[in-house]
Amino acid sequence: MHIELKGVSKTYGSFKAVDNVSFAIERGKLIGLLGPSGGGKSTLLRILAGLETPDSGEIRINGKRVNDVAPQERGIGFVFQNYALFKHMSVYDNIAFGLTIRKASKAEIKSRVDELLELTGLRGFEKRYPHQLSGGQRQRVAFARALAPRPDLLLLDEPFAAIDAKVRKELRTWLKQLIATIGITSIFVTHDQDEAVEVADEMLIVQQGKLEQQGTPVEVYTQP
Ligand code: ADP
Ligand code: ADP
């Protein structure tokens, strides 16, 4: 999946949350979207997902303008920081959700959920409910749920921010392996520089709504 933003801006009242941002991303990369809190990272992510319409500029995913494509057909999966799992659904049903709403057959759902339980190391947990899981396990369910419909793009908004430091480190390593295994283009929002350096193939640095830098971690930290 190729992603391109051209001159994208978004204003809230008189406040420019995103200010004339342009960039392109190649298929299969894990992009770290880094910058201080309030810099516009989440807004940019929501615009990319078509959840928010920019005031100007355009976003093309594989050549198509994102807002011209129905949400379910955009091929985008999300993981947010605060789990946002369905509390009254088992792990199995949480993972199956995106397939159920697309009216996949029971057999299809079972085979895909099995695959994801394996991929996320959650086999044996399928009958549990979110409150019976640790924070790290819940986030792995969130990844499985996001990946179930086979998206082309995965948007991760501080997915490990609410998890304690030791588990967070394990999850980063796990995530890098997961992404490498499935080869999906991903954008990972964080305000943690170490985290971005550790997970990202390439970084986008956003500050006060502006894209300040784009490059590999080495390029970004060796250029003034
Ligand atoms: P980040 O993700 O980098 O922390 P955000 O994109 O969440 O930054 O926010 C950028 C700025 O835009 C912040 O100052 C925030 O308060 C403001 N903002 C974001 N969403 C809204 C909204 N819906 N209405 C008004 N202001 C908003
Ligand atoms: P984060 O810090 O994780 O990026 P925020 O707490 O800034 O998230 O924002 C959470 C939600 O509140 C977002 O959907 C954002 O659009 C909205 N929001 C943020 N700032 C404002 C604001 N000043 N006015 C209205 N909505 C806002």
Model confidence at 116: pLDDT above 90: yes
What is the Å distance from ligand 2's center to 43 Cα?
A: 8
35 lines ligand 1 (CB under 6 A): yes
37 lines ligand 1 (CB under 6 A): yes
14 lines ligand 2 (CB under 6 A): no
Predicted TM-score (pTM) of this structure: 0.84
Confidence of residue 223 (pLDDT cuts 50, 70, 90): low
If you take atom 4 of ligand 2, which residue's CA is the nearest one? 42
- Look at residue 83 in the predicted model and tell me its pLDDT: 60
222 lines ligand 2 (CB under 6 A): no
> Rounded distance, CA 123 to CA 118, Å?
6
If you take atom 12 of ligand 1, which residue's CA is the nearest one? 17
- Sort 201 into a burial class: Cβ within 10 Å, 0-12 / 13-18 / 19+: middle
- 215 — phi, psi (to 5°)? 170, 180
Nearest-atom number in ligand 2 for the CA of 42 is: 4
ipTM: 0.63
The tokens describing 151, both together, are 């998206």
Q: What are the CA-CA distances from residue 95 to residues 27, 142, 159, 188 (Å)?
A: 25, 8, 17, 21
pLDDT digits (tens, 9 = 90+) for 173-193: 999 999 989 999 999 999 888
Of the candidates 98, 119, 123, 218, the residue with the CA atom closest to the CA atom of residue 175:
119
Rounded mean pLDDT, 206-215: 95
Ligand lying nearest the CA atom of residue 81: 2
If you take atom 19 of ligand 2, which residue's CA is the nearest one? 38
